Amino acid sequence: MLLAVLSGFILAACAPWLTRLLGDRAGWVLALLPAALFVYFLSWIPLTAGGAAEVVHYSWIPGLDINLSFLVDGLSLLFALLISGIGTFIIIYSGGYLHGHEYLPRFYGIMFAFMAAMLGVVLSNNIISLFVFWELTSITSYLLIGFNHEDKQARWCALQGLFVTVAGGLALLAGLIMLAGAGGSFELSELLNSGDVLRDYPLYTGMLILILFGTFTKSAQVPFHFWLPNAMAAPTPVSAYLHSATMVKAGIYLMARLNPGLGGTDQWLYTLGLFGAVTMFTGSFMALRSTDVKAMLAYSTIMALGTLTMLIGIGTEAAIIAALAFLLAHALYKAALFMLAGGLDHETGTKNILNMGGLRRLMPVSFITACVAALSLAGLPPLFGFIAKELMFEATLHAPAIATVTTVLAVISAIMIMAVAALFALRPYTGKLKETPKQPHEAPPSMLAGPVVLAALSLVFGVAGFLPVQGILHSAVAAVHGSPLEFKLYLWHGVNTPLLLSLLAVVTGLLVFAGWDRVLAVYRRLTFIDRFGPERGYERVMAALVWVAEWQTRVLQNGYMRNYLITILLTAVALAGGTFFIYTGNTVPFGTVDITFYEAVIAALIIAGAIVVSLMQSRLGAVATVGMVGFGVALIYVLFSAPDLAITQIMVETLTVILLVLVLYRLPRFLNLSSTAARIRDALVALLFGGMMTVLILAVLDVEVVAPISDQLVAWSYDEGHGRNIVNVILVDFRALDTLGEIFVVGLAAIGVYAMIRLRAEDKRS
Amino acid sequence: MEPVMAIVVGALFATSIYMMLRRSIVKLVIGLILLSNAANLLIFTVGGMKRGLPPLIDEGMKMPTGGWADPLPQALILTAIVISFGVLAFAVVLIHRAYEVVQEDDLDKMRSTDT
């Protein structure tokens, strides 16, 4: 299992090299890996029958409960089969679509990494490794969407997709950690069995919002749907893969996966049900507005994602069966349709449906395949899409609390999607042949294999509904529902409400199709969609981000040394001083002062010296006074049992004074550069900080949080360190590495000084 | 003695910051010297001050007799004194060099890297 998930990454590393080696046949050969994975996952089907689940465990970071554990049940297997199965055809298709493309080797590399990441998402049992794979899909899809990196628009779209999904990913991480905290485990298989604990968790609503923010952005739900149509900037095989079986389905997968653990509450029902229904409507509404064949399909994907979210939200038995049937149907027809759209684009050189027509004689196979797949999209018998749509109506009609809204929106969406399906299947192929930028001819076999097989599967599953049920849907439904359900899928349900609703949708949809040119004219007038859509919101946020960055750079990085200092100091005063006053009030313990006369004189001398320095106008006087302060400090060390410090201080202080006297005389005299106001401001900042330090010292004098470690150092000094001067033993023995570092610092400073003096000497010579 | 030292340390911090906020680059150096003294005394004061009890072990003994001043802060301060001298020496030569090249000791006029 580990090899199955990671093999994609391994192949990703050698794919570029293999592609160069294999030349034109690369697509067919590389497709062997996903095909082999597909067969491997098929072999798991008997093990998951009846809703059984297998956990395959590999330790990764056991200390943090992070493991590469994989959960194989009906749901993950359904997704894994779609990813590897459709992936096979996408790889073959890419070989034809990007034939001779300069970056084809790189493309295969990213594609396999993406596929492996997707497999990781749907198979992970550990939620942290799930998150890692989740983010890997965001990053690899960024590379795929921005594949035409010389195109500015493509880069922009890729970045938008990345920002939206990664922002959601961050929220998801927080949500997943809360989930682990609530359920007491990082393993999905255990979390899903403790649904009651999770639903009673006090922060359930917050956790749900965080997780759903992640899944909604990933699965392009309103109002985050705008990135998905833009992701069409990717080459068509990528779009086909992203839209049908991967990327956007990751969010759906996670919601379906968490349904037994988090579902069944009012929040779940209303959020998923309503957001899903609105997304479904928005997707179909925008699909009908598009004239770009890829945009049409992209918006119809949003419709499908909305439908799935809505059905998972409704959560009744019928809704779950409908959701999984719809998922399978959508993956099959959407991959086929996208690959056909890519074929049209590739062979005619245009993506605009208004510029195509009469292609059925030139591209007969494409035409027939498009018709079959579009029938499934429209939800007409005898295709599998019909079964899925009937089930969806059945589920919305009996949805708790929100049945009216969901049913009305579902019917309207079905009407519009019916029209879109008819447009896609008929418009480019029928009527008169139109002038296109390229001379059209039938697509090569590599680009037809996928659509033909997938469309045929739509048909087979429709006629023989027991096949997918027996195969995988039964165990997938069991996984989402939490317990097995008995059901059968038939084309003919008898005359009932769903059938009548379907009939209504088909007839109205065909009318809309007939009058599409007029509908389009109305749409054209609705320009507010472009002006006020959520995408403008995204642009505003990005612009605001840049503005804030510029503003804070201007304010903070202004190039004035003293502004940096004042900012740092006042922040320190506010944080440390503020905290101090909040927690201790205004009382400062001023202990009894036990002081001798000469100590008081030394203290007074230091203070006086420091003040005089800051007012002194003469350089030599300032240097001498600083020296006096330094020697005063040395005296303090002498009086209070620190002879080593005193010696060092006196030596250093002497050297400092000599150095200053030598150098300062080459520097200009002190000038009064600051205004009085600036002086007063600086004095205030200085007093504030100095005062805070005094107060803090007074406050901590009597506090001992932990016992000092130095008693142990004293005890070891002679026995272990063989020295009688304990300070010296600490320096050269217990903390020898510190001292070594110190020697390096001083050595470096010396080299620097020497270099600068040499430099000056050379300047003078030249 | 410690409460008095708290005031001494506060005064050293205040004057050092005042000096570092001046525009003259030479005053910045003097501010640096005061700042390192302030920081060293801060550690020394907070570590506890004892009169006449240096952390030394008498001949023939294995431990100091009759109590001792905490040796660990002293070791840290000793390191700090030496390091701050290294920094200071470097800073002084750097400033001198900068002045030679730029002919300017007003920090406000040294904002750009092009001069």
Q: What is the pLDDT of residue A173?
A: 95
| Residue B114 included in any domain | no
- Provide mean pLDDT across the span A62-84: 88
Secondary-structure percent of chain A, ordered helix, strand, coil, rounded to 5: 75, 5, 20
- Could you tell me if residue B10 is inside a domain? yes
Q: Find, in chain A, the residue whose alpha carbon is nearest to that of B71.
A: A727
Residue A338 predicted with pLDDT over 70 = yes
**Does B24 map to a domain?**
yes
Q: What is the pLDDT of residues A343-375, one digit of tens each?
A: 888 888 888 888 888 888 888 888 999 999 999
| Alpha carbon of residue A381 to chain centroid | 40
Q: Count contacts between A and B (CB, < 8 Å).
A: 277
Nearest to A93 by CA among A107, A79, A114: A107
Strand partners, A61: A66
Question: Within a domain: residue B20?
Answer: yes
Report yes or no: B89 at the A interface, CB cutoff 8 Å: yes
Report d(CA A374, CA A421) in Å as an integer. 5
A246: left (phi over 0), alpha (psi -120 to 50) or beta: beta
Task: Answer whether residue B29 is part of any domain.
Answer: yes
Segment holding A69, helix H or strand E:
strand A66-72
- pLDDT greater than 50 at residue A541: yes
At A513-526, the pLDDT tens digits run 888 888 888 887 77
Q: With H, G, I as helix, E, B as strand and everything else as coil, classify residue A224.
A: coil
Domain-located, residue B58:
no
User: What are the DSSP calls for A421-473, one per residue?
Assistant: HHHHHHTTTSSS----SS---PPPHHHHHHHHHHHHHHHHHHHTTHHHIIIII
Q: Please tell me the predicted confidence (pLDDT) of residue A431.
A: 81
Determine contact: A749 vs chain B, CB below 8 A: yes
Contacts of B90 (CB under 8 A, 6+ apart): A749, A752, A753
Which of B23, B58, B81 has its CB closest to that of A649?
Answer: B81
Nearest Cβ partner of B83 from A668, A745, A753?
A745
pLDDT of residue A761 exceeding 90, the answer is no
CATH number of the domain that residue B28 is part of: 1.10.287
**Taking the mean position of all CA atoms in its chain, how far away is CA A111?**
18
Q: Does B7 score more than 70 pLDDT?
A: yes
Consecutive H or E run containing B68: none
Work out how many domains chain B is built from and give that number: 1
Flag whether pLDDT at B110 surpasses 80.
no
Q: Say if strands A66-72 and A54-61 run parallel, antiparallel, or are unpaired.
A: antiparallel
CB contact under 8 A, B8 and A607: yes
ipTM for this model: 0.93
Q: Which of A218, A197, A189 is nearest to A67 (CA)?
A: A189
Q: Give residue for tokens 């050092």.
A: B16
Which of A601, A631, A710 to substitute to test the interface with B, most B CBs within 10 Å? A710
In a domain, B59, yes or no: no
Residue B64 lies in a domain: no
pLDDT, one tens digit per residue, over A200-237 is: 888 999 999 999 999 999 998 988 888 888 888 888 88
DSSP assignment letter at A573: I
Q: What pLDDT does B115 receive?
A: 44
A164 residue type, one letter: V
Q: Which of A714, A730, A742 sits opposite B68 (nearest CB)?
A: A714
Selected residues 658-677 of chain A with any CB under 8 Å from a CB in chain B: 659-660, 663-664, 666-668, 670-671, 673-674
Kindly state whether B101 is in contact with chain A, defined as any CB-CB distance less than 8 angstroms.
no
The pLDDT value recorded for residue A434 is 80
Q: Which range of residues forms the domain containing residue B15?
A: 2-50+72-106
